[in-house]
A and B are shown apart, each in its own frame.
Chain A
Amino acid sequence: MLDGFVLLSVGLTLSAADWTLASLWLAVIASGLYHGVNPGMGWPLAVSAGLMERSPRALVAALGPLTAGHLLAMLLVILPFALLVAVIEWQRTIQIGASLLVIAFGLFRLANRRHPRVLARISPAQLGLWSFAVALAHGAALMLVPIYLGLCREAELDRGHAAAGALINTNLGMAVLVAIVHAAAMVAAGGCCAWLAYRYLGLKFISQSWFNLDTTWAVSLILVGTIALVLGLI
């Protein structure tokens, strides 16, 4: 009871800016969980590794490259924006540009459902490379950009105008943090699914947990892009 009141009062004292900040971080985590539970992003490969090597350690070991690949893809896409947003007078343009990019990619995914065939050329031994490539190809990394830009804006509002150098450092730090938090959420969710399948639910869980989210995925890209666009315009 008491806890509830405390939480409520904390909530009441939070400003609108705090709410925006909290929901942006929530979006970083939620998208990580979403990527993590999707079998298409790789957790069944960890199950396969564990079973093929007859060792739970192999399962955990496979999660390493899967996460590292995803993390690198996030960084590769976000970091250029981290440098760009330091140019204060372009910030609005960049936000609008990034939003349009995400919307365009969503529309492209909606029109073209093909999985890039080149991904099938990656050897099963190169899980990190595969995870990196699939996160780029399906726009998983791109989806984080508008969220990231929102976080940068909030952080800047907090601090007022700082020197460009300091801003770049802040933005780079924020980019790394966003990527790490997202990848952590992803590996936590994917790891749980893999462990459940490996230890308790059996291999049937792989097909049972697999839904064709191509349309949902494309629509969520468009949605995230649109929200960011509206926020960027107002």
Chain B
Amino acid sequence: MNIRPDPTFHASPKLAMEAPPESFAYTVLLSPDFSKPDALAVIDVKPGSSTYGQIVHTVTMPNKGDEFHHFGWNACSSSLSPLTGHAFLERRYLIIPGMRSSRIYIVDTKPDPTKAAIHKIIEPEEIFRKTGYSRPHTVHCGPEGIYISTLGGGGKNGTDGPPGVFIMDCETFEVLGRWELDRGPQTLHYDFWWNLPRDYMVTSEWALPPQFENGIVPEDLLSNKYGHRIHFWDLRARRNVQTIDLGANHQMALEVRPAHDPIREYGFLGVVVDTTNLEGSIWTWWREGGKFHIEKTATIPPEPAPKEQLPPLLQGFGAVPPLVSDIDLSMDDKFLYVACWGTGEMRQYDVRDPRKPKLAGSVHIGGIARRTPHPNGKAFAGGPQMVEISRDGKRVYWTNSLYSTWDNQFYPDGVPGAMVMANAKPDGGLELAKDYWVNFPDGYRSHQVRLDGGDCSTDSFCYPSV
């Protein structure tokens, strides 16, 4: 416990933007064939440093086959609301779920990120026993502690009962139990986030474990059996208040990105693929008159490609779907970044008018058919995937792997870990930084990125920017 609030906690998004820039980035390393233990890589991102863009420390886990994916901080700016009662937590521990093993690692990043070490391991049995859920995924810190979404229910296949969110104590890291009191029609899960002062949560849907663990199931996709709904919840009452179906053809509603400024009651949702035309899409949801609404506000078309450039899975279509796998919103709520993992493009949309996104910038790198190299000449396997934006909005980092078994289906030649960075211009426009290229150890892929001091998909704010 600190005597003063953690200096990386900011009352408003504006204060977070004005804070000093990031010095370290964290990304998880996964061993796609499970032959090696997964790890956490600490990368120096301080310009001018002699180890700029290099991995300066690695925390290797003691188990194999965890499959790291998303992760998050134990505490963030949401602690600055008196309602939470924990203003003196430190932003110190990274909560890293193993999506395949259901094991959770707590990594201590103090006293220095280059000395990060495992603090605690929560074994899968504890999560199964206390929550009835499995396959932990998204991590957010909030009023009741640490909230973790899961993709699986109970049982070996994770299909005994629906997946959901569980709560972990933010000081002891003890798993406390299920969050939901009334889940309504929700049966699938993926991402979640919220508006804390307005007291609502938004959750999305991917699929149940048999639909992703051994690879994408084309029959299920073509018969629209992946998730296509969005759920709105009363956060403190833990109750589903509204579910909206996007239409069954909008398969895999993944990342939920509410406006950072809590005065804005809207947010975005990325949909991977429309099975009628292979489009990817961006949806804008908003609350008006006590009800939630959502509409499709941007679409990204597939790109035709000759059969020989396509993996077997796509050869029948003669085209590459954009596959919107991740989206991220800048801290000032002005730009939405959209990763098109299939076509190999990072798009930047101006979303100042949230229901009319305008394409403001774009960078091509990798891609199933395009295979655009990095400006430094190196090959970038896979496509832009997990994206993270610096607090000040000037630098956009991303990695290239989606999920072990899916990588193999869409990129059969392999997806060696890569992480790049693009500079964003204040009024729109995106350009890859030639001097930023992280070399990862052989046999590892890279996934979500976190920045020290918080980033644009971590912190929740309880006060508007003024």
Contacts and interface: CB of A to CB of B under 8 A. Distances in A.
Interface of A: 39-42, 44-45, 47-48, 51-52, 54, 113-117, 119-125, 130, 134, 202-204, 206-207, 210-212, 214
A140 to B, nearest CB: 13
A207 B11 contact: yes
A122 B236 CA distance: 7
Given A52-B197, A121-B144, A211-B3, A115 B82 contact: no
A42 B82 CA distance: 6
B463 interface: yes
Given A51-B263, A51-B463, A207-B11, A116 B85 contact: yes
Contact of B82 (A40, A51, A52, A123): A40
B143 A210 contact: no
Contacts of A125: 199
Given A210-B4, A210-B5, A210-B80, 5 more contacts: A39-B87, A44-B80, A123-B237, A211-B3, A212-B3
In the A-B complex, the 6 residue pairs with the closest CB atoms: A115-B85, A203-B11, A120-B143, A207-B5, A123-B236, A212-B88
Interface residues of B, number: 36
A218 B364 CA distance: 59
Given A117-B145, A207-B11, A212 B81 contact: no
Interface in B35-82: 80-82
A210 B11 CA distance: 12
A117 B172 CA distance: 13
A73 B466 CA distance: 34
Interface in B158-191: 169, 171
Contact of B2 (A54, A113, A123, A212): A212
B262 interface: yes
A124 B463 CA distance: 12
Interface string B1-18: 111110001111001000
Given A45-B81, A48-B462, A114 B144 contact: no
Contact of A48 (B2, B143, B169, B463): B463
A7 B459 CA distance: 55
B197 A40 contact: no
Contacts of B84: 115, 120
Best-buried of B15, B199, B463 by chain A (most CB within 10 Å): B463
A52 B80 CA distance: 16
B81 A44 contact: yes
Nearest to B235: A123
Given A203-B15, A204-B15, A119 B1 contact: no
Contacts of B462: 48
A45 B83 contact: yes
State the majority secondary structure of interface residues on B: loop
B395 interface: no
A73 to B, nearest CB: 15
B12 A203 contact: yes
A70 B169 CA distance: 27
Contacts of A48: 81, 197, 462-464
Contacts of B262: 52
Contacts of A120: 83-85, 143-145, 236
B196 interface: yes
Contacts of A130: 83
B86 interface: yes
State the majority secondary structure of interface residues on A: helix
Contacts of A115: 84-86
Contact of B464 (A51, A117, A206): A51
Contacts of A134: 82, 85
Contacts of A207: 4-5, 9-11, 80
Contacts of B80: 44, 206-207, 210
Contact of A47 (B4, B5, B463): B463
Given A113-B1, A206-B11, A211-B4, A121 B236 contact: yes
A123 B236 CA distance: 6
A114 B171 contact: yes
Best-buried of A41, A119, A206 by chain B (most CB within 10 Å): A206
Contacts of B197: 48, 52, 124
A41 B82 contact: yes
A191 B80 CA distance: 18
A47 B143 CA distance: 18
A202 B10 CA distance: 12
Contacts of A52: 197, 262-263, 464
Contacts of B4: 207, 210-212
B14 to A, nearest CB: 8
A212 B2 CA distance: 7
Contacts of A119: 83, 85
A63 to B, nearest CB: 13
Interface string B401-423: 00000000000000000000000
Contacts of B9: 207
Contacts of A113: 1
A206 B1 contact: no
B263 A39 contact: no
6 contacts: A44-B80, A51-B464, A120-B144, A134-B85, A207-B11, A212-B87
Given A114-B171, A124-B197, A45 B15 contact: no
B199 A212 contact: no
Contact of A51 (B5, B86, B466): B466
Given A52-B464, A211-B3, A40 B12 contact: no
A54 B464 CA distance: 10
B83 A124 contact: yes
A211 B2 CA distance: 9
Contacts of B171: 114
Given A203-B466, A207-B5, A210-B4, A40 B144 contact: no
A141 B84 CA distance: 20
A47 B11 CA distance: 11
Contacts of A204: 11, 15
B78 to A, nearest CB: 11
A2 B9 CA distance: 52
Interface string B245-264: 00000000000000000110
